[in-house]
Structure 1
Amino acid sequence: MPGRGSAAERVFAYGATAGLLADLLFADPRRGHPVAAFGRSAGAVERVLWRDHRGWGALHTAVCVAGATGAAALAGRLVRDRRAASVVLTAAATWSVVGGTSLGREARAVGAALSAGDTERARTLLPRLCGRDPQALDERQMARAVVESVAENTSDAVVGALVWGAVAGVPGLVGFRAVNTLDAMVGHKSAAYRRFGWASARLDDVAGWPGARLTAALATAFGGDPRGALRAVRADAARHPSPNAGPVEAAFAGALGVRLGGTLAYGGRVEHRPVLNGAAGRPVEVADIERAVRLSRRVTWLTLGVCAVGRFAVGAGFGAGSRFRSGVVGRRGSI
């Protein structure tokens, strides 16, 4: 297949594979992470533009996303005639924007603390995975929070980025991570960001849509219980308040045979979310954290395969169309 694709398809396949391997070996750097640098820049722009108004929030989103995507496009343009440099750039961008290894490590750290009976340490570690208030959570509730975070972040931190990388190369990788980071910064329903963060939240819903569906599809097909996962997605995904987290969490719940959702607390706010896979699932146990991490890793590598094959298929289709059009023009010119 690689030999039949164009240079762009091979660059993505080789670069994305190298980037995922780099993430597997090195995870996220503790200092100097490019996403953290983007967050600091977005925070500086926010301090200048913040108004309790949707229009100013939309301007903030446009400036930050356009700046990151434009810089990535410029970098790609500078190396477009050098295949090795293009592969290195794609690998570096992939490694920078995906976070599957760190996600798994943080989830397993909470799981290890819970297995050891150290609930206080688990409560200390949990905020590194999600924004829940850990103080009121018991062991099972923390385990459930970890599994939900692993499910949602498999889509947000890995699959979505790879999908957009397959569509638009390095600008797609960087642009998706910029959108997702902005949503985490200002896209929540606090008093300060209810209006200012509206544009970031809506753009994240749009950008995350294809990755969430692919994550749900792969978790359903390869999660161990395809029928249970499909049943949970059909019955419960649309009931979730998030259009993208719903399918992903429902698929993981069905695949793992557990119940997700229910009452949770974010920064002093209590939310009562629908239970996912409630009819067939059991309460989450600590051992399910490891099962969720393994499913997340499986979905990650399957996504790479799907995206690489998809790029080659689309490239081959465009190539065939181009050859057909060239043949038609040639024959018409000879008549």
Structure 2
Amino acid sequence: MSRALGLALGWALDQAFGDPRRWHPVAGFGSAAAALEQRTYAVRRVNGAAHVAALVTSTAALGVVAERATRHSRLAHTLATAAATWAVLGGRSLTREALTIDGQLRRGELEAARVQVRNLVGRETSTLDADEVARACIESLAENTSDAVVAPLLWGGLLGMPGLVAYRAVNTLDAMVGHRNDRYREFGWAAAKLDDVVNWVPARVTVALALASSGSRERATQAWDAVRRDAPAHPSPNGGVVEAAFAGVLGVRLGGSNTYDGRTEDRGVLGTGPSAGAPDIDAATRLARLLSAGSLAVAVAVAVGVAVAISGPARGRPRRRR
């Protein structure tokens, strides 16, 4: 049960303190990945696949070492799992950014909000109006709640520290190289596809949690209709369903056209309500927090189930006579 306790403690640390200001392990991983890219880069998918394989397997191996080194002490295992969980989660930092943008828009500080939202999105923000900044913020809240909270917790519940750190490695590599520009269209293909795979189930769990947190059958139905009807038009198989669920629960319309590196991308229209605006950021933040707590409950249940499954056969095995 130390895995479940460690996940809960790590989640609580993230909620209390957010990401470490200095010496963040994910930042260190990013630096190592960038250095390795200098040696592995080529405009070929096979090079990108090798790059991802080397980084993810080595990171997972560190998780395995940590699991084995602490397996004989429940306290050590709990604390190590908590540290790993805190390092890979981004829930508090995500909502903190959203609330900062909310405050800037409420005060009419549009230029500051345009700059702040760059911490959350990769689209061009310099010409966005207040409602478009709010839409960008809410869409990032939705997708990153799934990617930076729900997914790592679920992988941690299932696989412990190796699952936590390997998932975060995959997700970070997708953010670094999984782009559709000239440099990374081929090299980043493997990172993007692997990220899609490891986030497929967590994204659907996020949708289920959003429906359960909607507060009414009408909003839940509205969200489910948006997921079924609108998500297929989104270029991401996971981001689309999560953003559509948020749109339905919040009763707003998300999606539309975004500009990335001079290239305009149509992401479809998600939801049937009025266009999202600054007043909707607060409600989106509350929803993200509910999903964070709900995903912790699911992850703890998964961790307990894994522990019971592992210990059950051992307890049921007859003892040998000496």
User: Which digits, 9 at most, give the CA deviation of each residue in 1:246-299, with x for residues without a partner?
Assistant: 110011010000101001111221111110113xx1111212111111111110
Contact (CA 8 Å) 1:163, 1:210: kept in 2 or not? no
Secondary structure at the aligned position of 1:12 is classed as helix
Structure 1 position 317, deviation (Å): 4.6
Q: Distance in 1 between matches of 2:127 and 2:258?
A: 9
Output the amino acid matched with 1:128: N
Q: Flag structure 1 segments of 5+ consecutive residues without an equivalent.
A: 1-9
Q: CA RMSD in A?
A: 1.6
The aligned length equals 318
Match of 2:290 in 1: 298
Match status 1:251 vs 2:245:
yes
Contact (CA 8 Å) 2:154, 2:302: kept in 1 or not? no
Match status 1:82 vs 2:73:
yes
Output the amino acid matched with 1:240: H
Output the amino acid matched with 2:65: L
Output the amino acid matched with 1:308: V
Match of 1:201 in 2: 192
Output the amino acid matched with 1:17: A
Tell me which of 231, 240, 260 is aligned to 2:234: 240
Most deviating of 251-260 and 215-224 = 215-224
Match status 1:133 vs 2:127:
no
User: Which digits, 9 at most, give the CA deviation of each residue in 1:97-149, with x for residues without a partner?
Assistant: 00000000111111111110010111111101111211121110110000000
Contact (CA 8 Å) 2:154, 2:202: kept in 1 or not? yes
Counting only pairs closer than 5 Å after superposition, residues 169-180 of structure 1 correspond to structure 2 as 169-180=160-171
Q: Distance in 1 between matches of 2:279 and 2:227?
A: 23
Output the amino acid matched with 2:240: G
Match of 1:262 in 2: 256
Match of 1:4 in 2: none
Q: Distance in 2 between matches of 1:97 and 1:319?
A: 27
Output the amino acid matched with 2:131: R
User: Which digits, 9 at most, give the CA deviation of each residue in 1:149-187, with x for residues without a partner?
Assistant: 000000111110001001110010000000000000000
Most deviating of 232-241 and 150-159 = 232-241
Counting only pairs closer than 5 Å after superposition, residues 103-252 of structure 1 correspond to structure 2 as 103-224=94-215, 225-252=219-246
Tell me which of 311, 315, 334 is aligned to 2:303: 311
Q: Distance in 1 between matches of 2:307 and 2:24?
A: 33
Match of 2:15 in 1: 24
Q: Flag structure 2 segments of 5+ consecutive residues without an equivalent.
A: none
Contact (CA 8 Å) 1:223, 1:252: kept in 2 or not? no
Q: Distance in 1 between matches of 2:261 and 2:5?
A: 42
Q: Distance in 2 between matches of 1:59 and 1:76?
A: 26
Q: Distance in 1 between matches of 2:174 and 2:287?
A: 25
Output the amino acid matched with 2:68: R
Contact (CA 8 Å) 2:224, 2:248: kept in 1 or not? yes
Contact (CA 8 Å) 1:144, 1:260: kept in 2 or not? yes
Using structure 2 for the length normalisation, give the TM-score.
0.95
Contact (CA 8 Å) 1:216, 1:248: kept in 2 or not? yes
Percent of aligned pairs sharing the same letter: 47
Output the amino acid matched with 1:288: D
Kindly tell me: are residues 314 and 79 of structure 1, through their superposed partners in 2, closer, same or farther at Cα, counting changes over 3 Å?
closer
Q: Distance in 2 between matches of 1:170 and 1:44?
A: 25
Structure 1 position 239, deviation (Å): 2.1
Q: Distance in 1 between matches of 2:127 and 2:41?
A: 33
Q: Distance in 2 between matches of 1:242 and 1:201?
A: 10
Match of 2:32 in 1: 41
Contact (CA 8 Å) 1:160, 1:211: kept in 2 or not? yes
Contact (CA 8 Å) 2:115, 2:126: kept in 1 or not? no
Using structure 1 for the length normalisation, give the TM-score.
0.91
